């Protein structure tokens, strides 16, 4: 069974640009969560989507947004990029999205803002 | 692979010894906890979980202990192997219907031959 796929794996953008990252969950999984990982702040929850609806949102500015499609694939968008947005962006999918449903992480997209 | 954390606390253990990784969690309302393992170049991988109505849970070579009084979790790995070298995170959650976990800062485990 295919795992969680994130594309692209690596991305370099210029400050002020916007970027869209994609996450394809495991087949049948309806919940997709996004996390930002940096050496300074660690792993921080961005948002969670379940059945095309944003169910939870972390403490990030409005420049960070996302969506989920009817096939459960999800995208996250960051507008007006800042140097501090450089990070590894991870998505995780789970079958039901409840607290104790195991989440499976992708390998992440490494975003570098220059 | 990318660096998960440049200044993570590191635990070095000899191959075959037992490892104990500790984590202080933040919210007394948290009722579900997970330990994750993250190897270089990969996303976190589920190891074991525990609910707040338990104080101990065992898996294959791993045991998680929960002390709610002092908001502390520990992960014990028996007979540590080279393949256990990774960064370990605890994560907490207080929302029954969501996957919005709060992760700890992580500990790098280094297994010495």
Each residue's pLDDT, cut to its tens digit, for chain B (113 residues) gives 344 455 789 999 999 999 999 999 999 999 999 999 999 999 999 999 999 999 999 999 999 999 999 999 999 999 999 999 999 999 999 987 888 999 999 999 999 99
Q: Does A39 touch chain B (CB under 8 A)?
A: yes
B96 touches chain A (CB under 8 A): yes
Put simply, the answer to whether B102 touches A45 (Cβ < 8 Å) is: yes
Residues in chain A closer than 8 A to B3 (CB atoms): 39
CB-CB contact of A107 with A9 (8 Å): yes
CB-based burial label for A14 (10 Å; 0-12, 13-18, 19+) = exposed
Note whether B27 contacts A: Cβ–Cβ < 8 A: no
Task: Identify any residues that bridge with B72 across adjacent strands, giving them in sequence order.
Answer: B24, B67
**How many Cα atoms are found within 13 Å in the side-chain-facing hemisphere of B61?**
12
Dihedral (Cα; A45, A33, B41, B34), 10-degree rounding: 70
The Cα B62–Cα B68 span in angstroms is 20
């Amino acid at each position: 069974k295919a795992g969680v796929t994130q594309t692209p794996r690596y991305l370099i953008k210029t400050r002020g640009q916007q970027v869209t990252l994609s996450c394809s969950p495991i087949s049948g999984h309806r919940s997709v969560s996004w996390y930002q990982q940096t050496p300074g702040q660690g792993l921080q929850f961005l948002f969670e989507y379940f059945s095309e609806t944003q169910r939870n949102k972390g403490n990030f500015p409005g420049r960070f947004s996302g969506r989920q499609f009817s096939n459960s694939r999800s995208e996250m968008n960051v507008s007006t990029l800042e140097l501090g947005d450089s990070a590894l962006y991870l998505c995780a999918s789970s079958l039901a999205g409840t607290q104790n449903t195991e989440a499976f992480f992708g390998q992440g997209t490494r975003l570098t803002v220059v | 692979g990318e660096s998960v954390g440049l200044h993570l606390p590191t635990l070095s253990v000899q191959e075959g010894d037992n490892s104990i990784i500790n984590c202080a969690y933040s919210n007394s309302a948290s009722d579900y906890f997970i330990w994750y393992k993250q190897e270089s170049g990969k996303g976190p991988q589920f190891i074991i979980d525990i609910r707040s109505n338990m104080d101990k849970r065992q898996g294959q070579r791993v045991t998680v202990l929960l002390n709610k009084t002092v908001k502390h979790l520990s992960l014990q790995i028996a007979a540590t192997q080279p393949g256990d070298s990774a960064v370990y995170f605890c994560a907490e959650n207080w929302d029954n219907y969501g996957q919005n976990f709060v992760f700890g800062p992580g500990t790098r485990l280094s297994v010495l031959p």
